[in-house]
Structure 1
Amino acid sequence: MVQLGSNGGRMAMTWRHIDWRRFLAFLPGAVLGALVASWLLIRLPSGVLELCIAVFVLVTCWGPDLPKRALSTTGTVIAGAVTTLLSSLIGASGPLVASFIKQGGGERHAKVATFSACMVAQHMTKAFVFGMAGFVFRDWLGLMLLMIIAGLIGTRIGLRFLDRVSNHNFEGLFKWSLTLLSLRLAWMGVASLTAG
């Protein structure tokens, strides 16, 4: 819910830059992924998904570009489904979605706005799934609101920075941020696998 509030605020602040074609292709995939996650009873061993996501993000950041078919409407629907499914299982799909959005080209405002819109779709579907599973949001409402407010303040500061940085510098910062996040995921995955 905190991520929904944070990304929702960023989406509202940058809505003019959203790539609506990509977002509307991502949306049905996100719904499908959430539905599959709500029925999924088998879970991979802790650590495996984290390592898979870390490897995918590192390959998309530092390897060759994804094929054009992967960035097509069908590819975007599939990305929406897969990332939402993974997100429902481990809650770490932000770097995965970001690395997919990064591959699509475009300028920095469009990437940030489209990423935020896709994450809003994911978090809304996840909130529905977890609510149906019995999570009581009301018990956490105060803490969630405070964290959302803090996230919105951070978003405003981040968007001021985004306005000042060039597209070229943004690409480098984005790539290294995703790399650090994926290395953290890899560390968490290895730690989970070796602890078990």
Structure 2
Amino acid sequence: MSFLYAGLDPATAVFLFVISFFGSFITVAMGIGGGAMMLAVMATLLPPAALIPVHGVIQFGSNAYRAFVLKEHTFWPPIAAFAIGSLIGVSVGGLIVVDLPPSAVQIGVGLFVVWSVLRKPPKWLTHWPFLTGLLSSFLTMFFGATGVFVAGIVKSHQLGREAHVATHAVMMTLQHLLKIIVFGMLGFAFGPWLGFMGAMITSGFVGTLAGRHVLRRMNDAVFGKVLNVILMLLAARLIWQGIAGL
């Protein structure tokens, strides 16, 4: 069983498997939040150099499965432009030697999310998916979990609850796949983490199925209110972390 733990203490690894379940459950049932929650927990338990690439693989698996089970609800018009922008964003991010200050990124993303909830979404969110794909994918190379940023983009289309979750999952699947490729090209060794990542993804599958049942029983009005509350809480957390890190 040691191949599942990737050098981590077994109790720590099992704890993270449970977190992966609840992360996927929260993301499907409430629309957002699971990836950021899991990143926050993993950041305290994984080696810093492995955190973002390993989290990226886990999120790719979870989002790919989420996109598959909700595929009939996907809103496809912005996907192609978002994918092209994402390809450029991760490529540019991978070429930059000096990392962006994490605190500045956290504060910036947090303020953007607050603005997207309280104000009418700007037209470029809806009409320029290329730009939103580029910006969010660039940020994910340094910040890791930009699902909150992308959720603001998806929210601007005013979709129903299932369409929101499905479209967000497709966008995040594309973004994490590109990030994995770039980290591989930069030399990160994924091999020692394969068992651990596989167990995390499997746990996330189960969480996705459980969360889907909750999603189907929630109406659009309740979903929208819950989504806004979660977005604001996550934004507050990002801003607080950014200020604390200055």
TM-score range, shorter chain: over 0.9
Instruction: Check whether the contact 2:100–2:142 (CA below 8 A) recurs between aligned residues.
Output: no
**Which residue does the alignment assign to 1:83?**
136
CA RMSD in angstroms, aligned pairs only: 1.1
**Which SS does the other structure have where 1:42 is aligned?**
coil
The count of aligned residue pairs is 190
Deviations 1:87-135 (A, max 9, x none): 1111120100011111111211111000000000100010011111111
Q: What does residue range 49-88 of structure 1 map to in structure 2 within 5 Å? A: 49-62=105-118, 64-72=119-127, 75-88=128-141
Contact persistence 2:125–2:153 (CA under 8 A): no
SS at match of 2:145: coil
1:93 — aligned with what? 146
Instruction: Tell me what 1:159 maps to.
Output: 212
Q: Do residues 102 (structure 1) and 158 (structure 2) align?
A: no
Shift of 1:45: 2.2
Q: Structure 1: how far apart are the matches of 2:114 and 2:65?
A: 28
**How far apart are residue 67 of structure 1 and its match?**
2.9
CA shift, 1:191, in A, is 1.9
User: Which deviates further from its counterpart, 132-141 or 182-191?
Assistant: 182-191
Which residue in the other structure is 1:19 paired with?
Answer: 75
Structure 2 residue 89 is the aligned partner of structure 1 residue 36 = no
Q: Which amino acid aligns with 2:122?
A: P
After TM superposition, the score normalised by the length of structure 1 is: 0.93
Matching residue of 1:140: 193
**Map of 2:14 onto structure 1:** none
Structure 2 distance, partners of 1:152, 1:78, is 31
Bigger CA drift: 2-11 or 23-32? 23-32
1:128 counterpart (181, 186, 190): 181
Q: How much has 1:23 moved relative to structure 2?
A: 1.4
Letter in 2 for 1:81: L
In structure 1, C-alpha distance between the alignment counterparts of 2:89 and 2:77, rounded to whole Å: 19
Which residue identity lines up with residue 26 of structure 1 in the other structure?
A: F
Unmatched 5+ stretches in structure 1? none
Q: For the residues of structure 2 that align with 1:15 and 1:76, how far apart are their CA atoms? A: 20
Alignment match of 1:173 (pick from 206, 226, 232): 226
CA 1:190–1:137: 2 relative to 1, 3 Å: same
* Amino acid in the other structure paired with 1:36: V
1:186 is aligned to 239
* Unmatched tracts of structure 2, length 5 or more: 1-56
Q: Distance in 1 between matches of 2:196 and 2:100?
A: 31
Counterpart code for 2:64: G
Instruction: Between 178-187 and 155-164, report the one with greater CA deviation.
Output: 178-187
> Is the CA contact 2:60–2:176 (under 8 Å) kept in the aligned structure 1?
yes
What is the CA-CA distance between 1:20 and the residue it aligns to? 1.2
